[in-house]
Structure 1
């Protein structure tokens, strides 16, 4: 995949971009510890899919915010990886954790928050949680629509989206898919071939493929913590990508999964030596909290 075009001044993510310098300084001054340091030795990896975990979580925590997504695009990721939650009023919001307290977002409304869980909060209340207290203004978890509006306005035409279905049931999958289909219809098919849907709940992906495969184009990625070949092979009926916890990847499994005509995109890899080893094993992409480190390694940092 090619790198995204430069983010335009005054675009939908301009306010988020204006915060990036302040956010970077605040993160490192806040005692998070140093970001990984690149050794300086690059590796040839043509076609490697560099996926920014929650945008650029490592440099712009907690991720899944407009500043974090903007940062991922700014360094040149091939894919923005993000997570989808569902509010109490049935709207899709971006976020890794249902509990915003776990994410690190703070209530800014009057009195006590009615809940800290996205699943128990109305959309208007979610907008009162601030996920970047070190910055001016409220940086709330964005809705799916707000995120996609900004993404399609600013990302290059070959930058992809890898969206995780965080809620596991078929009913949840229906809500996610209907929201994505409605957006795709409203933007005249802007997803094109750019969409990946991933989940630890493989049955939700199977359901999505069977029920919505003729209404929305997407590749399915099975998130995997076990690495059992027989299970991976069965999932090939509805999934095109094996996305395992990175210690599960070895030469034998790479050969087996590629023989199934599946791509391999492990997570979450933040160590340069392990990135290098996985590239040498032949993985097709890597999900990382530090996309700038991976892009330096492959010689493609913007």
Structure 2
């Protein structure tokens, strides 16, 4: 499905001719319309005035969450790739049987995914569900079939089949413990070994639990190449400076970014990639401050702003 949607988006003529991917794109268009009629409000409208931002890392939050909620699904990731993001931002959870799945929230009910199995769901939490039961939750009622939270393997298979070699991955370690970090890293290392090092320089690992990133760097840094991004809600310079020992990216809540902090963090030789920015004026202001990237629910808006929308 992922490849079909992207192929249709990139080839309007095939749609006009009723090409093989027209039904897939029609489903995605219907999903977009339903999203904007269903409580999230209208998508932001671009003013039309672009800004020069060479090298800016445009990161699609959960793929393309704003246009295709709840995000962290194959259709949402496909939409992010289709508009031309530089990086797909995604979140990793762990199932009851120790498998890694994509999802922002442990509770699938909070995400808006509905149980489609018989009777009552054994749980709505990924951490309490076996893999087979997670596959029975549908996160896109607007689409045909069951669009379940994808496993890490299914997500990576689709990503590497469709994304160009220039597109990066930013994966959040949602579970905070060292044991959880071990499981995430071992899963990524196993996948990388199976695809002969397909991650290359394309992988970012991010977390609010900075100790998990430090652990990942110390224990797995010689087995898997990645950049570490510290997610930050406080913006204390002393803490950021200490984290530079194992992290290359400061990824703060966007109101924490000002000219002074940009200068300080860049002096540490760290990149600055704030989240989650959905307002054009704020995107413009952050670019003028000199950030290195922006995580947004609306990558199409940011790409229009910098003149790079496909």
Instruction: Give the whole-Å Cα distance in 1 for the aligned partners of 2:11 and 2:250.
Output: 23
Q: TM-score, normalised by structure 1?
A: 0.95
Over aligned residues, Cα RMSD in angstroms?
Answer: 3.3
- Deviations 1:174-211, CA, capped at 9 Å, x for gaps: 00000000000000000000000000000000000000
Task: Structure 1 unaligned segments of length 5 or more: list them.
Answer: none
Change over 3 Å in CA distance of 1:177–1:14 after alignment to 2? farther
Change over 3 Å in CA distance of 1:3–1:21 after alignment to 2? closer
**Offset at residue 104 of structure 1 (A):** 0.5
> Quick check: 1:19–1:135 contact (8 Å CA) kept in 2?
yes
Instruction: Give the whole-Å Cα distance in 2 for the aligned partners of 1:99 and 1:291.
Output: 26
Change over 3 Å in CA distance of 1:210–1:71 after alignment to 2? same
Q: Which moved more, 1:266-275 or 1:17-26?
A: 17-26
**Offset at residue 26 of structure 1 (A):** 1.9
> Quick check: 2:114–2:138 contact (8 Å CA) kept in 1?
yes
Q: Which moved more, 1:191-200 or 1:9-18?
A: 9-18
Q: Which moved more, 1:128-137 or 1:201-210?
A: 128-137
* Secondary structure in 2 matching 1:226: coil
- Deviations 1:31-86, CA, capped at 9 Å, x for gaps: 43210000000000000000000000000000000000000000000000000000
> Quick check: 2:167–2:202 contact (8 Å CA) kept in 1?
yes
Q: Kindly indicate whether residue 39 of structure 2 is the aligned counterpart of residue 3 of structure 1.
A: no
* Secondary structure in 2 matching 1:256: helix
Q: Which moved more, 1:8-17 or 1:195-204?
A: 8-17
Equivalent residue in structure 2 for 1:146, among 140, 148, 154: 154
**Offset at residue 6 of structure 1 (A):** 13
**Offset at residue 16 of structure 1 (A):** 6.5
**Offset at residue 134 of structure 1 (A):** 1.9
Instruction: Give the whole-Å Cα distance in 2 for the aligned partners of 1:179 and 1:129.
Output: 23
Q: TM-score, normalised by structure 2?
A: 0.92
> Quick check: 1:84–1:163 contact (8 Å CA) kept in 2?
yes
Instruction: Give the whole-Å Cα distance in 1 for the aligned partners of 2:13 and 2:168.
Output: 13
Moved over 6 A (4+): 1-16
Instruction: Give the whole-Å Cα distance in 2 for the aligned partners of 1:153 and 1:62.
Output: 23
Change over 3 Å in CA distance of 1:71–1:12 after alignment to 2? farther
* Secondary structure in 2 matching 1:230: helix
Task: Structure 2 unaligned segments of length 5 or more: list them.
Answer: 1-8
